[in-house]
A and B are shown apart, each in its own frame.
Chain A
Amino acid sequence: MMLKVCNLDLRYQQIQAVKGVSFEVSKAEIVTLLGANGAGKSSILRAISGLIRPFGGEIFFEGINITRLPCHEIVKLGIVHVPEGRGIFANLKVIENLEMGSFLRRDKKAVRQDIERVFTLFPILRQRQNQYGATLSGGEQQMLAIARALVAGGKLILLDEPSLGLAPRVVESIFQIIARINREGLSILLVEQNAHQALEIAHRGYILETGSIVLADTASNLAKNQSIRKAYLGE
């Protein structure tokens, strides 16, 4: 088991955002966490990557208890979090954003190879490498965010609503790339409101409602489930 979240409780002051959430992600798997706005999806990702401290529960990554580790140590273990809204540094160039993605890596040669690899994956970023992050379109920013996560050299990528605010065609190509990097061996925890696209590429999924998991199944079963179709696929 790569990532194991047990009985997670998250609170903001008095407000309970997530309660008793447990789920798992195995190696080379795409797991999707679906839920409406405010269900607690981003909070769960923020707890995994160490940005917020859980009120209760435990998180294990490759057998290591990471519940109370600081962010930079969690990144070092191989968890890379692409935040909601992409989190591009607008005041840094595209290439500098990628350098920040590989901040903790000492193997300079391998980093250069990885940057070369993401430039082949996203040719537009090569053209824009000396432009500031602020000048990129939404789609390009999402590509940069994913590219930046790839050069971190992690094992598990947490993606928070990569389809947010993007045109359907762009979403399509982003999801194809997510599926592709997964086939190359990376595990992915994909948080989405766009259930349709997410269930297409995911292996398994969890449905989150107001801070609790109400359903867990394979992606194909979830896609067939009548109540899911009603709630998330607009049928």
Chain B
Amino acid sequence: MKPSDLVLPGILLVSAGLYVWYYGWLVLAQQMINGLQRGSMYALIALGYTLVYGIIRLINFAHGDVFMMGVYFACFAGNFLLSRGVGFAFWIAMIVAMIGCLLINVLIEAVAYRPLRDRPRLTMLITAIGVSLFLENFLSLDPHQLPFPFNHLVFGPQFRPFPTLIKERVYPLAAGLTISNIKIIDLATALMLMVVLEYIVKRTKMGKAMRAVSYDMDVARLMGIHVDRIITFTFALGGALAGCAGILYGLTYGVLQSPCLGMWPGIVAFVAAVVGGIGNIPGAMLGGFLMGIVETLAISVNSNLGYGVTFLILILVLLVRPKGLLGSPYMEKI
């Protein structure tokens, strides 16, 4: 334990103390509950960053946009299912969003990243930014100038309402605190997927092969591991988690703002992955919840404070503990 390791916990504790002094314990508790909800989405997205970084050392800057596609898939699937009066619409839409994002992420890897695997690392990083801009701008195309059928549904930068897949109900807890069914669903879904992910990575043959590839790709090849398939599998996992975050986002906020809605959550989740220790799976979960809580608290003080605080934490972590709270298994610079 170095003295610098105390900087971040210290700052967080002092800020929480000031918050309590100003707003009181109850407000802090309520905002923490709200923050856990936001954090569940960030954690799911952050896992995608960390999984991909672990396997090919790429910060996949398009990941926030894969999450955005998840909101789209969920929105369209949800509208369709509701219009047909299908039961369990939320859960079906969740599966659609997860599979949709899984396929998109696998496609992005195969088309954009795989051909660049032997190039300098920066090439892939810049390509990831390119993929991100492509997705955002492609979906923002003016629908009136496109000949496709249904183009008015899919394309265009405009705001869309997200279908009410589950009606929000608010339940009182002790001392005036409240929780809602949607908060419970967000948190429970995220936690459940994390357990599933932990099981896949720790216990299954594919998961063990993922860890082997992440440690040494060439030696993994010598074991007979088909490395390309493991990388595809990793992108599939990350995509599915982002898709789930996408439907939770739609459910929680009830809107699909624009094709750029994934940008900010993508950035926060990236910061969360770095804060937890990039490449470290429990680290991404912890970082996600932490960033969710911190951002919620900051926004409750002033609605513009979230942005600054997020980057402040990134800078602080990179300054005082670059390998993240739980430690990154990788020594190289990010």
- The smallest beta-carbon distance between B30 and chain A, in angstroms, is 40
Cα distance A70–B226 when bound, in Å?
9
CB-CB under 8 A from B220, the residues of chain A are 100
Asked whether, in the complex, the Cβ of B222 is within 8 Å of the Cβ of A99, the reply is no
Mask of A16-55 contacts with B, CB within 8 angstroms, 1/0: 0000000000000000000000000000000001110000
Looking at the assembled complex, report how far the CB atom of B311 sits from the nearest CB atom of chain A, in whole angstroms: 31
Q: Tell me if B225 and A100 are in contact (CB < 8 A).
A: yes
Closest beta carbon of chain A to B212's beta carbon, Å: 5
**Which residues does chain B contribute within 8 Å of A99, judged by CB atoms?**
205, 208
Given known A96-B208, A100-B220, contact A89–B215 (CB-CB < 8 A): yes
Which of B219, B221, B226 is within 8 Å of A89, CB to CB?
A: B219
Cα distance, A87 to B216, chains bound together (Å) = 8
Stretch at the interface among A58-66, A71-79, A181-189: A71-79
Complex Cα distance, B219 from A90, in Å, reads 12
* Chain A residue, CB-CB nearest to B222: A81
Is B221 a contact partner of A103 (Cβ separation < 8 A)? Answer: no
Interface size on B, residues (CB 8 A): 18
CA distance A75 to B219 in the complex (A): 12
Does A104 belong to the interface (CB within 8 Å)? yes
Is B115 located at the chain interface by the 8 A CB criterion? no
* Complex CA–CA separation, A58 to B212 (angstroms): 30
* A101: interface (CB < 8 Å): yes
Chain A stretch 74-97: residues in CB contact (< 8 A) with chain B? 75-76, 80-81, 83, 87, 89-92, 96
> Smallest CB–CB gap between A1 and chain B, Å?
23
How distant is the Cα of A75 from the Cα of B221 in the complex, in angstroms?
Answer: 9
State A51–B217 Cα separation when bound (angstroms): 10
Given the contacts A87-B216, A89-B216, A100 and B223 also touching, CB distance less than 8 Å: yes
The answer to whether A71 touches B219, judged by C-beta atoms less than 8 angstroms apart, is no
Distance, CA A72 to CA B218, complexed state (A): 11
Question: Closest residue of chain A to B228, judged by CB?
Answer: A70
Q: Given A91-B329, A100-B208 in contact, is the A75-B222 Cβ separation under 8 Å?
A: yes
Q: Which of A81, A83, A100, A148 has the most CB of B within 10 A?
A: A100
B residues near A92, Cβ cutoff 8 Å: 208, 211-212, 215
Bound-state CA distance A209–B163 (Å) is 72
Please report the C-alpha to C-alpha distance between residue A148 and residue B329 in the assembled complex, in whole angstroms: 24
Looking at the complex, which one of B208, B214, B216, B224 makes contact with A71 (CB distance below 8 Å)?
B224
- Cβ of B75 < 8 Å from any Cβ of A? no
A101 to B226, alpha carbons, bound, how many Å?
A: 13
The contact string, 1 if C-beta is below 8 Å from chain B, for chain A 97-117, is 001110110000000000000
Interface flag for A152 (CB, 8 Å): yes
- Please list 18 pairs of residues, one from A and one from B, whose beta carbons are closer than 8 Å in the complex, sorted by A's number: A51-B221, A70-B226, A71-B222, A72-B226, A75-B223, A80-B222, A89-B216, A89-B219, A91-B214, A91-B215, A91-B329, A92-B208, A92-B211, A92-B212, A100-B212, A103-B205, A103-B223, A104-B224
Binding site for A on B (CB under 8 A): 205, 208-209, 211-212, 214-216, 218-226, 329
A residues within 8 Å of B by Cβ? 49-51, 70-72, 75-76, 80-81, 83, 87, 89-92, 96, 99-101, 103-104, 148, 152
Give the top 7 A-B pairs by smallest Cβ distance, nearest first. A75-B224, A87-B219, A104-B224, A71-B221, A72-B224, A100-B223, A81-B222
